[in-house]
Amino acid sequence: MRPPTPLPFVRVLTWACRGGLCAFIGLYTLCAVLNMQLGYQGNENTDLTTLVWREWRHVVLGQVARLLTAHTVLGLLAGLCLGLGAWGVGVKRWSTAFLWGLGGSLLLALLALLGDMAHHPHLYAATLYTRAEWTRALLLAVSQTSPAPWRALAALLITIAPVLALWRLGREPRGEVQTPRRAPAALKPLGVAVLGALLMGLLLAWNPRSASSSERPRRPNLLILASDGLRPDHLSGNGYPRPTSPHIDRLMREGSHFEETLVQIPRTGPSWSTLLSSQWAGQHPIRHTMVGPEARTQSFPTLATALREAGWRTAVLSDYAGDIFSRLPLGFEHVSAPAFNFPELIRQRMLITQVTLLPWTALVPSFFSERQQFPELTDPSPLAASTRRALEGFGSDEPFALLVFASVTHFPYAAPHPHEGQFLAPGEQGPWRFGATPLMEAPRSPPSDSDKAALVANYDASVLAFDAFVGRTMEELERRGLAEDTLVVVVSDHGEHLEESDRGMGHGEHLWGGEALRVPFILRWPGKVAAGREVATRARAIDVAPTLLELLGVEAPERFQGRSLASQLTPGRAPPALEELPALIETDLWFSDRDDQRYQQFRLPYPWLYETMRAEPGTGDLSLKPEWEEAVERARHRGLYLGRWKLLELPMREGVRVELYDVRADPGERHEVSAAHPEVVAELRARLHRERTWGEATGSF
């Protein structure tokens, strides 16, 4: 009987590609079957899933087609690569070639998954951590490893296959392997092209501007580095016991920072609108998080518009939490921020269930742009790369104003490797091991002390990840010779509640305590801003933009309501005393009416977001239904800080509940003292209603 001969090259590749295709289509099917419920950050709702399938079926089917296409391409490419290896070893049966493609593709998918799981374990926690005991154990084990070995093994598997093919080509007799005689001649133009590309790359890499200080801009630059939910009391430079912020601490030593800076509404959209416009929410149209199309299309003066008119190049870069910059008219010339609408939300949540595809989405980000919208994937590294490209794109003949807004300190507090898990207790395996998110419905059981400790540990690791981003960005400024000519600012849109006593998690639902209302405000500009100064004057959100404009020598727009605090930052002299002005504070709309948080006991009722929200026809943008605007406005809690006092008004069915706190004697704001100071209450309530010029009307813009 004649012994079997090796299969022809084309036949081997054909069967190996079939094997790779079967592997990846099988993985898609498995992930799809196991994750049929649509959820967002731990919140799942059957009615919402039904709505998606009824009204957005075309989006679901379109995403299925994209996911199948991606798996098909991956399967064919993996099969093709592994088929080279099968041909290299001289397989003699079609079944063997098929198994090379099938088994090798599954192994490749596993190694890529383990590498990405080690780098971004939070990305996989929603799908795997509570799926089964073995998936939970796998995630816990892999999250303690470095991604490098897994990725090296995957690269080795991809590399060894063509090496085996080349090995066969080299060992077979010349007559049995037909190669073009003129191959060397044909390769000459390719060699010239490669050499030319290398030379061009060296020329591009050589940046004479970075080494020269003679071409620095005549006017200063502005660089704002911000992170969503960054609390100043969790910075080690402010006395926090964990080493969370060595690079930000350096900025504090080389510049000035305000002891207290307060935002008005501790939610991203309205807060950034107030920070940049120097107007209270109510004076500008971004009254709450879910404003409709009429408010989103109204223009108003901002820090960005003032600088653009004065000749600055303006840009904003952001990841997940910065979708508001792509939706609101904040005046930036260039905006790089994700979208946030119902179709994108559907695509995002369908993609995150495909755990074996996720590691590959970073290779072609333009095909899966929703990747940058994952709350569970807030690694600042892509943002750092975008920042480098933005700095490269600014010319030396005009100043720039760049705002970079990171999301890593936003819940679920998903720090990447190597910061992830750095502050966790050894052996932590509780439900909040990989972060947590406020729930729309009451949890089955309250969090334990170890759960709360894990929550804070994950948050602190996220602060450390943002700090590393700040350090890389400052190194880039120094490398380009811009560090001395750039006003660098660290700020945030709001703080964060981290289950302190009865104050819950998140931001925007209530005004008790200062954890969600206080933000850092740090400024560094050698020679122009005093070094090592802590400013005692209370800064308000509306004061930020006027302060920056005065430092840069640009006149503030007439509609700005805040005051400049630049006089507090002048080097070489003590800050002058300033009059105490009220800092207004308000809650945003409430997402839930059934989460069992304390604020639910002290509010005017209206339904939860699933009933008050709408997806606008055509675009799918999410906004509050117009019929609920008045109820939301009337129900919001409001108050002010003035001097040593904090006043709160909490509208309820029984009337307005008034609370007063002495924030100097009681910094934690735990003791309500309105009964002991009725005259202070009367004075502050009158002041509050004078300052809130927009009152309770919703159509006054």
Determine which of 166-180, 266-280, 502-516 has the lowest per-residue pLDDT on average: 166-180
405, two tokens: 């807004």
Give the model's confidence band at 175: pLDDT under 50 very low, under 70 low, under 90 confident, else very high: low
**Which regions of the chain carry the CATH code 3.40.720.10?**
249-313+382-400+464-579
d(CA 270, CA 260): 20
- pLDDT exceeds cutoff 80 at 50: no
Give the model's confidence band at 37: pLDDT under 50 very low, under 70 low, under 90 confident, else very high: low
Mean pLDDT confidence for 286-309: 96
- pLDDT exceeds cutoff 60 at 204: no
Mean pLDDT confidence for 393-397: 86
Q: Which is nearest to 659 in space by CA: 552, 547, 513?
A: 513
Arithmetic mean of pLDDT over the chain: 91
CA distances from 230 to 409, 517, 668 (A): 6, 10, 18
Fold of the 598-691 domain? Arylsulfatase, C-terminal domain (3.30.1120)
Q: Cβ atoms within 10 A of the Cβ of 291, count?
A: 24
Pairing of β 655-662 and β 622-624: unpaired
Determine which of 188-197, 563-572, 656-665 has the lowest per-residue pLDDT on average: 188-197
d(CA 378, CA 88): 42
Residue 404 has phi, psi (to 5 degrees) of -120, 120
Mean pLDDT confidence for 333-361: 93
> Looking at domain 249-313+382-400+464-579, what is its CATH homologous superfamily?
Alkaline Phosphatase, subunit A (3.40.720.10)
pLDDT tens per residue across span 432-471: 999 999 999 999 899 999 999 999 999 999 999 999 999 9
pLDDT at 281: 96
Q: Is residue 618 packed enough to be buried (19+ CB in 10 Å), middle (13-18) or exposed (0-12)?
A: exposed
**Do residues 234 and 240 lie in contact, with contact meaning Cβ atoms separated by under 8 Å?**
yes
pLDDT tens per residue across span 402-439: 999 999 999 999 999 999 999 999 999 999 999 999 99
pLDDT tens per residue across span 231-270: 999 999 999 999 999 999 999 999 999 999 999 999 999 9
Q: What percent of the chain is predicted at pLDDT more than 70?
A: 91
Within the chain, how many helices (H) and strands (E) appear?
A: 22, 20
**Which regions of the chain carry the CATH code 3.30.1120?**
598-691
Q: What angle do CA 366, 368, 369 make, to 5 degrees?
A: 65
pLDDT at 372: 83
**Do residues 508 and 587 lie in contact, with contact meaning Cβ atoms separated by under 8 Å?**
yes
Helix (H) or strand (E) run with residue 352 in it = helix 342-352
